[in-house]
Structure 1
Amino acid sequence: MRNLCQSSYFYDDNGEWEKILSDLEYSQSKVIKKIVNQQNFGDINRDSYLDLLLFLLLQHARTKKMQETADQFIKEFSQSVSEYNLETIETDNLEKTDLIADRFPRSQFLAMGPAMVGVDLIKDLFPVLLVNNTHVNFITSDAPVVLYNYVKLKKRMLVGLQSPGLQICCPLNEKLSLLMFDPKFYEVSSDSDHIILIENTSDIDAINKLQLFNCSHSIVYRDKDELSYIKTLHQSIKKNIEETRLQANFTDTRRLKNDSQSDIIQSTIPSIDYTLKLSFLKLNHKSNKSFKSMAKRKLKDNPYMIFLRDKNVAEIVGKRFKAMNSETQEKLSESELFPGYKLKVVSTFM
């Protein structure tokens, strides 16, 4: 159990990042403990609430699963560029597609960057505390923060932090779970304190299945007697659990004023192949229909359009991330693979 859901020197070799994150965890743990002890959001002030949001973002970003996703992004990115530019890249350089990956020994920072500066991306989500009043416990995993969306567009991923219709679910312990959702797309039966008391085991099963879909290697549960339940739950969705393979492809090429070339690469990860059904949360069909109608029109003009809940917020956070991301841009521009190319990396994790 010692190495479960953790890794030595995951962030750096000297422990500086570990110290920074440890200090953040101290503030966040106080908020989590207060929520768990009170079983409500109680007297949480603005600063504490922002700590809670940052907790969710970092728990989502600083996992082995996210590192594996980032590694895959870098690999697909370099492969897409080399295939696209076959005529201008020498044959020997085609064997150097790992050069970019070699420049990013800790690729998880591609996701942690937006997390560190991106609290504003999810401030608009509505928070509720799920109180489990059944005999079946919540389970968790090595990737406990799940991004999910009832709203679906054909061949489009809508699980970015600014995606319309987003839901974020994270268990706090075996009897409490945090759920945040886009209030424009969902209606819930919660009380004035944002608490939902769950009496149906089917709701617990549905939420626990999200952990099975989202985990990388490990499921965490309280009692060994629960193993049989977890195996049964897994068996019921086994055929839907597939390895999520990120793909990166060129989508557009633009000529800049100085006659240099700017190429756009879009990366996508398949959404969870699962329909979450909860007795206390309903999709607002009017909002869903309106959004899909608008999206259909927009996609005709721009097939690669990214849909956001608040464009202004996304731009503000994007500028913060760009400032943090200058080193990444420099490493890619210096790559021997792409001489004469101006490469622009836009985070796929927002």
Structure 2
Amino acid sequence: MAEKEKQHFVPVFYLKKFSLHSQEKRIGVFNISSSKFIESAKLCDQAYKKYFYGRDLKVENTFGRLETESSKIVNSMLRQQNIPIVHSRDHQMLLLFVITLLGRTKYTAKMIDDAVEKYKETVSSIDSNALLESERNIDLTLTDAVQESLERVVPYFPIVRDLHWKLIVNETEQPFITSDHPVVLYNQ
């Protein structure tokens, strides 16, 4: 396989936290579109697409560095059952990881692509000549949409810096679950 061909939109280190029996090699998967449950799937074959961030590997390599740092912080949090001190380097790094995780999934890329298509349809329905030639020919690739979505989530960073975090410890027999779009925006 070519170097870094498999580009995970949900980091492997994160998925390992949801692995079967803490093996870190296999994970349970429920495919919503087929309503099929796979009890034990290869973890490394989940939540990736070939060259999802592009063949130049710039975005992939940047995420690799961020994930290396973030995995150390997450592992420390789980070991110590404590979150990083607010505004510390670890806190900032973890916040950046969460924000970028929001913008790097297939779901977010599809939302961006759908929004561009909706914009083109809406403007064309009002005035078929209103779209500039360059706008008419906009066709985002998945990679373009991911990069666009990442540009849109970065401004969230200063907005969410002051949010209070909670670490939830699971003391039940029922394991936590995750998804291929693991960040949820919620504000009370």
Report TM bin, short chain: 0.5 to 0.7
Q: Given that residues 56 and 145 in structure 1 are in contact (C-alpha distance below 8 angstroms), is that contact kept between their aligned partners in structure 2?
A: yes
* 1:132 equivalent among 137, 155, 170: 170
* 2:184 equivalent among 143, 146, 157: 146
Q: Given that residues 10 and 106 in structure 1 are in contact (C-alpha distance below 8 angstroms), is that contact kept between their aligned partners in structure 2?
A: no
Q: Given that residues 79 and 97 in structure 1 are in contact (C-alpha distance below 8 angstroms), is that contact kept between their aligned partners in structure 2?
A: no
Q: Which has the higher contact order (CA 8 A, sep 6+)?
A: 2
Equivalent runs, 1:178-327 vs 2, <5 Å: 185=188
Deviation at 1:134, TM superposition (A): 1.2
In 2, Cα distance between the equivalents of 1:71 and 1:136? 37
Equivalent runs, 1:70-149 vs 2, <5 Å: 70-86=112-128, 88=129, 99-102=137-140, 106-148=144-186
Which has the higher Rg, Structure 1 or Structure 2? 1
Amino acid at match of 1:70: I
Deviation at 1:110, TM superposition (A): 2.1
Root-mean-square deviation (CA), in Å? 2.6
In 2, Cα distance between the equivalents of 1:103 and 1:60? 19
Aligned to 1:35: 77
Q: Given that residues 31 and 44 in structure 1 are in contact (C-alpha distance below 8 angstroms), is that contact kept between their aligned partners in structure 2?
A: no
Which structure 2 segments of 5+ residues have no match?
1-41
Deviation at 1:102, TM superposition (A): 4.5
Aligned to 2:88: 46
Deviation per CA, 1:29-48, whole angstroms, max 9, x where unpaired?
11111101111126676111
**CA 1:105/1:114 → structure 2, altered by over 3 Å: closer, same or farther?**
closer
Deviation at 1:118, TM superposition (A): 3.4
Amino acid at match of 2:122: S
3-state SS, counterpart of residue 165 of structure 2: strand
Larger proportion of strand: 1
Deviation at 1:137, TM superposition (A): 1.1
Equivalent runs, 1:17-28 vs 2, <5 Å: 17-28=59-70
In 1, Cα distance between the equivalents of 2:140 and 2:176? 39
3-state SS, counterpart of residue 7 of structure 1: strand
In 1, Cα distance between the equivalents of 2:121 and 2:152? 24
Please say if 1:64 is aligned against 2:106. Answer: yes
3-state SS, counterpart of residue 131 of structure 1: coil
Which structure 1 segments of 5+ residues have no match?
149-165, 167-184, 186-350
How much identity, in percent, do the aligned residues show? Answer: 26
Deviation at 1:57, TM superposition (A): 0.8
Normalised to the residue count of structure 1, the TM-score between the two structures is 0.38
In 2, Cα distance between the equivalents of 1:40 and 1:124? 18
* 1:5 equivalent among 42, 47, 50: 47
3-state SS, counterpart of residue 147 of structure 1: coil
Deviation at 1:103, TM superposition (A): 7.4
Q: Given that residues 35 and 41 in structure 1 are in contact (C-alpha distance below 8 angstroms), is that contact kept between their aligned partners in structure 2?
A: yes
Amino acid at match of 1:82: S
Q: Given that residues 58 and 115 in structure 1 are in contact (C-alpha distance below 8 angstroms), is that contact kept between their aligned partners in structure 2?
A: yes
In 2, Cα distance between the equivalents of 1:103 and 1:62? 14
**CA 1:38/1:102 → structure 2, altered by over 3 Å: closer, same or farther?**
closer
Count of residue pairs brought into register by the alignment: 145
In 2, Cα distance between the equivalents of 1:36 and 1:65? 28
Amino acid at match of 1:107: A
Deviation per CA, 1:118-165, whole angstroms, max 9, x where unpaired?
3212012110111111111110111111123xxxxxxxxxxxxxxxxx
